[in-house]
Structure 1
């Protein structure tokens, strides 16, 4: 009963985010506008799903709103961005870490160790894949950057596939993540030398950021090679809900920045 209430609260927060994005659409709907509305709307439905992949994707959507909107609110002092950050933090707090861990156990995701690190890496991977997909849709709609849009779409698809394979405890997911990271870094190096001062630099940063979570999928395995794990059981869940605490801290900082900017 308690789990259903928490999932319902998270669903309401995501529906509020979807409504906010829909109200901000100006003139005509574009592909990126549809994605902004569809992601939190689908997350509201996925909150009640028993599939671990859906639960990880829901947390990725919440973290995207917390981090990106929080950054805008802190830097620019935008009140609406602070509100989005609060809704994302509320969704994360409602989802809870205990439910995340129990859902992973029920799905059979029981690595020898570093289960929390794998879950965090898969969440970050799906979040970055969503950003790549958003930029891919935006570039495919243009007449100039369609090749970059195709590459971004391939990177996004590879990131999602690698994360889902890792959640199914398949070593191919880690290997695919390393391959996607290599492709992203190679594309970033090419864009950095393409001669386009602003667009090339932005695309290089975007693809380089895609390589970080992909490599993070292999980090627990590399660390276990350097420091062999003796425990046979999976890592126990943390008593401190650090993810909710961090999200709330970002949201409060964003609100404080917005209020400070509004007072001047």
Structure 2
């Protein structure tokens, strides 16, 4: 069953380059994401990874082509798609509890049901003891856990993640990747992740999409042989990492000019 379908999507931004010309950001992007699959999108900076994520989220509208989530046309933001941002995007004046509960309250859910769901998801991300804290009282990793819980709590069809661990140091980034695997084992979900990290993509993904330089196109779609069970520095891991590095390095011959 398809959770997400991206069909021949093109995105043009008007007058964004130094010459005042239109910028073709994405060209002829087509993807099919099955239910409960984890997709990672890799490519050079400026290749349109975040633009694609924003189109899926409904924050932007394709110039041409179409995007469907669970068979329904995406024409704006919706509860069927939740986003986890790099900068956490938490409300600083709200507690952890109220940040996680925000989407449920918007839905008009009763307080007792909200409490039950928030309690479950706070426990899922390991923050049961911190629901009364405010974002400024938390570490970066803990704030990102709040963001993940807030995104998951509304039960989206697709969870979108825009470099969610990029602001963390290497140790915390590795810990959050492991936590993400644990969370997804407990709460099956379709995920589309934008990342610059080849290792992160291999560690988390079922499928890795490698994009060309701008205009962003799908250069290669790679299925990870043992999703979330690849052991680093084994021959299989090193081979898939080499393959992805070669694909990205080979993009020197694609012009960034528009």
TM-score (norm 1): 0.26
Bigger strand share: 2
TM-score of the pair, normalised by structure 2: 0.26
